[in-house]
Structure 1
Amino acid sequence: MRAYFRLGPATLVTAAFIGPGTVVTASLAGANYGYALLWALLFSVIATMILQEMASRLGIVTGKGLGENLRHLVQQPLLKVLLYSLVVAAVVVGNSAYQGGNLTGASLGADAIWGQQSLVLSLKQHSGLNPWSLLLGVIAIVVLWRGRYQRIERFLIGLVLLMSLAFISTMLLTKPDLGAMFSGMLLPTIPSGATLTVIALIGTTVVPYSLFLHAASSATKWHNQPNKAQALAESAADLRTAIPLGGLITLAVLSTAATAYFGKGLQMENAGDLALSLQPVFGAAATYLMALGLLAAGLSSAITAPLAAAYALRGLLQLSPQWFRLSWLLIILVGMLVSSLGLKPLSIIWFAQVANGILLPIITLCLLLAVNSSLLGTYRNSLRQNVLGAAVFAATLLLSGRTLYLAFFS
């Protein structure tokens, strides 16, 4: 009997987009607007499933990642230079900047759980560094250095399940308003001042580097599977499980923040505040579960972000295994430096956001062209898939336009 649910390469996508940025965005959405923006989360999950299905199918059928397929499709020299430059700027430079945030977010979770240990306090006082950033960075390096794909996948599945347990348990402890939750999910509204939060909720879920990650990991996962139809069925079951699970995790964070903050006149600065604020009302268990979820979210993204950048570079530039390893290693080291010293590379992050804003619709369009090309033979897009893909492309175009406008004129 064919499995309807399973966990596989799509779990890497969930591990990638459920990072500290998503946790903070969902927390602020819930704290400031209650459940009103859940429709944006639902849309982002659906859009992610549509795009990631195409990326996975491309990887399975061609046996190559998105980068390799783009290299084959884009032959005009000027277009190739422009596309490669955008990918390097958005995926490689961007993930290097965001890596510091991944490790900092994971550190907040670790600090909420073990921060009062005397050894931790001593290291902070005498070195001026964040010891958690260094330790978590080393863990990310060890996982990627020693792990074959199967081991990395299993490790990330474990982190995603840990996040699920932590965040969903926290939500249940805080007893959300189910009526308001379903209303916010099914009746789209944008409260006054919420436009930026809507963009952020969608933008933290639908990201271009996840397409490189999923296509390459799917090609690796099913490279020995001669039955493409069977591999695609397994991938579909994987998508049905992992991406909605990521949406459920985000919903749990938003719901917890809505219960703890919305309508109570309280201000929240970051997700660490959310973890600490739960204890007086909901007990220590809620605080520790929230902190554990934040730790798992940061660590999972700290592993997948460098890996996605390395996959993109390998595909476009035909990197050798040594250069592939060096590329993700450098990104982790940059993140460790940024996080451990408490730096805020705002100009680099701004640059990465602009590059991402330009890249997302371009990569979406390239993906649509690839899955309609002769590369996929009988597995090309159907009319229904093209209609859905075109709708998501239009949404990414609007999202990116708004992101660029805000980056330059806000």
Structure 2
Amino acid sequence: MGVHQESTARKWNHGLEISAAKSLSGNANGLRGLLPFLGPAFIAAVAYIDPGNYATNIAAGSQYGYKLLWVILASNLMAVLIQVMSAKLGIATGKNLPEVCRDQFSKRTSILLWIQAELVVMATDLAEFIGAALGLYLLFDIPMIMAALLAAVGSFAILELQRRGVRPLEAIITGMIFVVVIAFGIQVFDAKPEAAPLMAGLFVPKFEGVDSILLAAGMLGATVMPHAIYLHSALTQKRIVGKNEREKKRIFKFETIDVIIAMVVAGGINASMLIVAAALFHKTGLKVEDLDVAYNQFGHLLGQHSAICFGIGLLLAGLSSSSVGTMSGDVIMQGFIRRRIPVYLRRFITMLPPLTIIVLGINPTKALVFSQVVLSFGIAFALIPLVMFTSSKKIMGGLVNKKITTITAWVIAAVIIALNLFLLGETFLG
């Protein structure tokens, strides 16, 4: 890191510390008190709007209309609790989830957990990198290989922000998320969804055959992401450090609000994808499963501006989530096995599989679906340790889960793991 970059990073971090100290002392309340703590959840929330979500939500809306909208609501409610527990683990222990796993489990178990977590990150990056490249391909009509190389440059540029301090990175990623919000907001406005079936789909759980259950499991697998669980604890572990239990509880209160806001935004984006697909494709009898087909149909049915909004959303979601996936990989390796490789080298290595897929001409949407299967395999290995550790008074101190929180978390873990096992079974045996 250069001298100027080090100076800039120190200024940002010093300013964050001063603002946080005022909030913790009670000298800053309301929005001013909350602002220093906003950011970590928005970085983690990027995982909830990656291109894998695009594929499953568009497919769900086109095939089943609004019927599976409740799955997005349920997934996001689950995600709120999961991300809150991950953030709380970092605040209470000053360590991230992989580090606590290394402390609590044997060396052999930690190595095995590291291997599967690296596979999860590779699968994540596969979806995100291909999504960004596909967004460039659709928007500018350039060859996929050229689009992939441009996506690589973009993801490297975002990673460079890490070297300038935590706040610039949080600011640019949050900004990208809100551009995606605007893009899908325009699409929903143009699509003019019907209110009655939309509200029924949102609040009345129902399935329509085994295929709809399989798709719902895929939607859940694309929403609750293992690498986001690992990463969130790292984002809060040393960002603002509480000196005592009172300060830690106050930090946790602010970070909980951060999670709720970020998850509401992510949930709104996912719901918008499904709503637009239901209002346009299902209504006209179109079964759309490929993202390039969706892009072309948006242009045909709503006009080119709608297709451009979709392409911009896909591009920005892919770029931001790809960089976040690289950050997660760094946390995972350092935490589980105390090793670290340069973040740019990691970025280069994880780009190779998606670049290979693009060069070979494999269908991008099929690759996205395959990546969700791998993510389904990895969710249990992140979720079970998280619930175990946050339920331990010895590890968490005054921030230990309440009994009702622990019970709810285990129920959610059981549901998510069961649905992901069902997805794996249907994928390989069905």
Q: Do both share a fold (TM > 0.5)?
A: yes
Match runs of 1:164-183 below 5 Å: 164-183=181-200
- 1:151 pairs with 2:151: no
The partner residue of 2:424 within 388, 404, 410 is 404
SS at match of 2:216: helix
Q: What is the SS of the residue equivalent to 1:130?
A: helix
* Corresponding residue number in structure 1 for 2:92: 61
CA distance in 2, matches of 1:45, 1:257: 19
Partner amino acid for 1:108? Answer: L
Pairing 1:19-34 to 2, within 5 Å after superposition: 19-34=50-65
Residue 147 of structure 2 corresponds to which residue in structure 1? 132
Give the Cα separation in 1 of the matches to 2:260 and 2:112: 33
Q: Deviations over 1:218-247 (max 9, x none)?
A: 224324777212311221111110011111
Maintained 8 Å contact 2:326/2:343: no
SS of residue paired to 1:147: helix
| Residue identity matched to 1:57 | K
Residue number in structure 2 paired with 1:163 = 180
Is 2:215 the counterpart of 1:197? yes
Of residues 4-13 and 286-295 in structure 1, the stretch that sits farther from structure 2 once superposed is: 4-13
Report the CA distance between 1:163 and its aligned residue: 0.8
Partner in structure 1 of residue 248 of structure 2 = 228
1:9 aligns with 2:44: no
Distance in 2, Cα, partners of 1:350 & 1:108: 15
Give, in angstroms, the shift of residue 359 of structure 1.
3.4
- 1:22-71 per-residue CA deviation (whole Å, 9 max, x = no partner) reads 01110010000000001111111011111111100001121111111111
CA distance in 2, matches of 1:347, 1:87: 26
Relative to 1, partners in 2 of residues 1:171 and 1:312: Cα closer, same or farther, differing over 3 Å?
same
Q: Which runs of 5+ in 1 are unaligned?
A: none
Q: Deviations over 1:75-109 (max 9, x none)?
A: 3xxxx5245324423x3223324423322222232
Deviation at 1:315, TM superposition (A): 0.6
RMSD of aligned residue pairs (Cα, Å): 2.6
User: Is the 1:371–1:381 contact (alpha carbons within 8 Å) kept by the matching residues of 2?
Assistant: yes
1:5-404 superposed matches below 5 A: 7-75=38-106, 80-82=107-109, 84-89=111-116, 91-115=117-141, 120=142, 124=143, 130-148=145-163, 149-192=166-209, 193-223=211-241, 227-320=247-340, 322-323=341-342, 326-339=345-358, 342-343=361-362, 356-373=375-392, 374-404=394-424
Q: Select between 358-367 and 305-314 the one with higher mean Cα deviation.
A: 358-367
- CA shift, 1:270, in A, is 1.5
Tell me how far apart the structure 2 counterparts of residues 354 and 100 of structure 1 sit (CA, whole Å): 12
Letter in 2 for 1:371: T
**Identical pairs, percent:** 24
TM-score, scaled to structure 1: 0.88
Could you list the per-position Cα deviations for residues 315-341 of structure 1 after superposition, in whole angstroms to 9, with x for gaps in the alignment? 111124x45553344213443444455
Residue-pair matches, total: 393
Which residue type is aligned with residue 247 of structure 1?
A: G
Q: CA deviation at 1:357?
A: 3.8
Q: Cα gap change, 1:273/1:43 in structure 2, threshold over 3 Å: closer, same or farther?
A: same
Contact 1:56-1:214 within 8 A present in 2 as well: yes
Deviations 1:295-332 (A, max 9, x none): 11111221112221221111111124x45553344213
For 1:248, the aligned partner's letter is G
- 8 A Cα contact 1:98 1:335, kept in partner: no
The farther-off stretch of 221-230 and 149-158 is: 221-230
Shift of 1:175: 0.9
**Could you give the per-residue CA deviations for residues 157-210 of structure 1, whole angstroms, max 9, x where no partner exists?**
111111111112211111111211110111111012311111011110112111
1:403 and 1:41 mapped to 2: Cα distance? 17
Deviates more, 1:144-153 or 1:212-221: 144-153
Distance 1:31 1:350, change over 3 A: closer
